[in-house]
Structure 1
Amino acid sequence: MKLPDAPWQDGEDMRRLLATLGSAEGDTRFVGGCVRDTMFGIPVADVDLATRLLPEEVIRRLEEARIKAVPTGLAHGTVTAVIRGKPVEVTTLRRDVSTDGRRATVAFTDDWREDAGRRDFTINALSADPASGEIFDYFGGLDDLEARRVRFIGDPLTRIAEDHLRILRFFRFYARFGEGAPDGDGLDACTRRANDLMALSRERIAGELLRLLALPDPAPTVRIMIERGILKPVLPEIDMGGVERLATLPPRERAANVAADGIRRFAALLPRGEMAADLASRLRLSNAQRARLECIERSEPDNAAPPRQLAYRIGAECAVDRLLLDPRFDAEEAAARVAALASWQSPDLPVRGGDLVAAGVTAGPDVARLLRRIEERWIGEDFPDAARARAIMEEELRSSV
């Protein structure tokens, strides 16, 4: 079978990179996701190359060809070539020497099958010759692509023992590519080894889970994960109630023309209550992600407030999150409220404390109190222009005398 033509294969820069790395001599192939996604007929985000050349030789050739080379992971054989500002990962063929479920010690090889055999799923082990387009499939990945089946290479328990994150990757790839029931052997292995997730860093767990949740329709897959107890060792708070909330969110996002978002969907999974800070800390989310979860969880101000007033007080991003997650609004009403925030930029109050001091108010607490009253009226009038804000100030000054 041949790899179909796709835009990512074109361009003088890609041809020059491949020539530099000896693709015509069989030294370098397209590998992994770019082959898989092209066969699925979906856009390719990243291009990866596998090569028989050692990392030092890859760097030497790239530098000689005046292609930027970044040694991003030399211990694991990875060099990043930068063409037109876009990274292309070039990784030397490898075999595992030892694994502990979190990281692997590797040795380099020139055996394409051996390198493919250390990958997780059959659909990720495909490679393609850049010149002829010939696809190399050592483990039945093409059949699994046609069946839209996510299947571990070899024994699933062995693959999971090599890298425990493959438990979550199994479900993410199933949510993205799978049809019908999950592969039984893979599902059973993930169920048996779910406790292995506790050995992983929380950052890796969070990253994989958020990527899964950002897929078009993750709820059916998350339901299977809850039924099988996959998340219980690391996120026991998530239950079927969370899955039901998650299931309602994608259609509401589509109705509002809002992009899918992992953090918003994670918030949907969480039980109501004061737990956002604890979970954000446990998963070691970024400060921005933590602040967003905590904002979604708070009950004040009321989401029923006019949308722009809500967005002014808590920020547009959090306002959109809350409006989409609030069960008091049906999909149509939520979409209308979100639409009111489209292209809206939060304005600055045209009146400053200095204006009040200049008008005779003594600097200190009186200025702060009066400024708050002016701002509340300005918000209530839907952010009028500077002239009206000034008039509000004059009115408040007269009433405070």
Structure 2
Amino acid sequence: MTRLTAPFLDDPALKQVLAALSAKGAQVLIVGGAVRNALLGEPVADVDISTSARPDETIRLAEAGGLRTVPTGIEHGTVTVIADGRGFEVTSFRRDVETFGRRAVVAYSDRIEDDAHRRDFTMNALYATASGQVLDPVGGLPDLAARRLRFVGDPHARIAEDYLRILRFFRLLAWYGREADLTALAACRELRGGLSSISKERIGHEIRKLLNAPDPSRAVALMAESGVLPLVLPGADASDLAELIEIEQEYGAGALPVWPRRLALLAPQHAAEALRLSRDETRAQDHIAQALTLPAPVAAYRLGRAFAAQSVLIRAAHGVKPAFGWCHELARGAAAKFPLTARDLMPALSGPALGEALHRAEAAFVESDFTLPRDALLRIALQQEAKA
């Protein structure tokens, strides 16, 4: 018998929810990612709960136990139970009657086996009691021990229920897997065309999480080999991603945002539209791309130290190793201040001539490696006026 000893089981709020819902004899279990992560020794964020109680019964039991409820997804059998100011999603056991892609006709069930067979991967179909006893209806424990990512049942059927599961397969492989089930991988390749029916926002959400994994290079390489990567990121080139991961580890890049850098390496031209990036995320990709066209200190001066650092790491992954002292050079570029303002050139200059003069002087300042003094820059700015 496998038993969890995870700290989250001692959470008073969780204990209160589990006790309230099981007060009349309903089966109440922790399910999915919390169980998976605890068994792997990974951090546990959210704790989801599955129960044989129907949604209306869940609400009655929770409120009888002094807890507040919110019917966040009651049409799908999900109620959020609030304890100590935190929400726990509680979903009733269900079984599929008919499926139509993401839409399905479901019926409530009293059997954990029915509920488990609706889930995506075997390592996500693990349940635990309040005392930590692990229940494994679909053989997920051996897969988890082997870090093997396998669909529950027929992978073609699971994917057809929601084609986004193709990307979830690669994302979970990046985070938790060492071995990709070959039948699962084949199904992802064969059914990849179904991703065209998935919104770019949902695809973008998965890609962000995938690229945030400690080392997504193998999963992304398999995406490329299976034809999935070019569908979701046209023009993507994953050939240097593994090198980038090594560079990140070598240079200690943990303080910088991870997925934007990796995305900029993969697909510098098409990512914003393909993944429906936000305005700020698109601007970040544009800044990284611009930084890649500039010497690193100049990039730090014009765009900021963080974007310049991203470009240095990407260049290193492409084989252009940074010079000794590059961090100091970035700091120096970021700290450089152009000593002229428009007021310094007025009233001698105005309008377009004023802008051109400032641009000319700043270009000279940058070309001088930020060393030209203010007086020299004034002469450069006013030289055209003097000729006139």
Question: Above 0.5 in TM-score?
Answer: yes
* CA pair 348-86 structure 1, distance change in 2 beyond 3 A: farther
Partner of 1:154: 153
- Quick check: 2:174–2:215 contact (8 Å CA) kept in 1? yes
- SS of structure 2 residue aligned to 1:326: helix
- SS of structure 1 residue aligned to 2:239: helix
Letter of the aligned partner of 2:248 in structure 1? E
1:216-246 residue CA offsets vs partner (Å, 9 max, x unmatched): 22222222232232334444533xxx22211
Partner of 1:249: 244
- Quick check: 1:351–1:389 contact (8 Å CA) kept in 2? no
Partner of 1:333: 322
Partner of 1:268: 265
State the 1:153 CA deviation. Answer: 1.2
User: Is 1:281 aligned to 2:281, yes or no?
Assistant: no
Between the aligned partners of 1:108 and 1:228, the Cα distance in structure 2 is 37
Between the aligned partners of 2:245 and 2:215, the Cα distance in structure 1 is 7
User: Is 1:137 aligned to 2:126, yes or no?
Assistant: no
Partner of 2:39: 39
Between the aligned partners of 1:233 and 1:280, the Cα distance in structure 2 is 14
* CA pair 15-243 structure 1, distance change in 2 beyond 3 A: same
State the 1:391 CA deviation. Answer: 7.1
* CA pair 262-343 structure 1, distance change in 2 beyond 3 A: farther
Which of 180, 183, 186 aligns to 1:185? It is 183
* CA pair 91-305 structure 1, distance change in 2 beyond 3 A: same
- Quick check: 1:31–1:125 contact (8 Å CA) kept in 2? yes
Between the aligned partners of 1:195 and 1:236, the Cα distance in structure 2 is 14
- SS of structure 2 residue aligned to 1:72: strand
Partner of 2:21: 21
* CA pair 168-280 structure 1, distance change in 2 beyond 3 A: same
- SS of structure 2 residue aligned to 1:91: strand
Between the aligned partners of 2:349 and 2:202, the Cα distance in structure 1 is 54
* CA pair 279-333 structure 1, distance change in 2 beyond 3 A: closer
- SS of structure 2 residue aligned to 1:99: strand
- SS of structure 1 residue aligned to 2:107: strand
Between the aligned partners of 2:84 and 2:362, the Cα distance in structure 1 is 49
> Once structures 1 and 2 are overlaid, which stretch shifts more, 374-383 or 201-210?
374-383
Between the aligned partners of 1:390 and 1:14, the Cα distance in structure 2 is 65
Which of 216, 221, 234 aligns to 1:218? It is 216
- SS of structure 1 residue aligned to 2:102: coil
State the 1:331 CA deviation. Answer: 8.2
Between the aligned partners of 1:112 and 1:262, the Cα distance in structure 2 is 37
RMSD between aligned alpha carbons?
Answer: 3.7
State the 1:177 CA deviation. Answer: 2.5
Partner of 1:112: 112
Letter of the aligned partner of 1:116 in structure 2? A
In the alignment, structure 2 segments of 5+ residues that lack a partner are none
Partner of 2:205: 207
Between the aligned partners of 2:20 and 2:333, the Cα distance in structure 1 is 49
State the 1:253 CA deviation. Answer: 1.2
- Quick check: 1:100–1:163 contact (8 Å CA) kept in 2? no
* CA pair 290-104 structure 1, distance change in 2 beyond 3 A: farther
Between the aligned partners of 2:233 and 2:68, the Cα distance in structure 1 is 42
1:325-368 residue CA offsets vs partner (Å, 9 max, x unmatched): 11488686379535765899878867654x448x7556544554
- Quick check: 2:300–2:331 contact (8 Å CA) kept in 1? no
Partner of 2:301: 312
TM-score (norm 1): 0.80
Q: Quick one: percent identity of the two aligned structures?
A: 39
Letter of the aligned partner of 1:76 in structure 2? H
* CA pair 120-396 structure 1, distance change in 2 beyond 3 A: same
State the 1:16 CA deviation. Answer: 2.1
Between the aligned partners of 1:393 and 1:290, the Cα distance in structure 2 is 35
* CA pair 389-360 structure 1, distance change in 2 beyond 3 A: farther
Between the aligned partners of 1:300 and 1:55, the Cα distance in structure 2 is 54
1:36-95 residue CA offsets vs partner (Å, 9 max, x unmatched): 111111111221111233334444555565655444322222233455555432222222
Letter of the aligned partner of 1:324 in structure 2? L
- Quick check: 2:241–2:317 contact (8 Å CA) kept in 1? no
TM-score (norm 2): 0.82
1:236-273 residue CA offsets vs partner (Å, 9 max, x unmatched): 533xxx22211111111122222372232222223xxx
Letter of the aligned partner of 1:297 in structure 2? A
Between the aligned partners of 2:161 and 2:170, the Cα distance in structure 1 is 17
Between the aligned partners of 1:43 and 1:85, the Cα distance in structure 2 is 21
- Quick check: 2:291–2:311 contact (8 Å CA) kept in 1? no
- Quick check: 1:32–1:127 contact (8 Å CA) kept in 2? yes
Between the aligned partners of 1:79 and 1:258, the Cα distance in structure 2 is 41
Partner of 1:290: 282
Letter of the aligned partner of 2:170 in structure 1? F
1:132-169 residue CA offsets vs partner (Å, 9 max, x unmatched): 21111111111111222111111111111111122222
> Once structures 1 and 2 are overlaid, which stretch shifts more, 325-334 or 260-269?
325-334
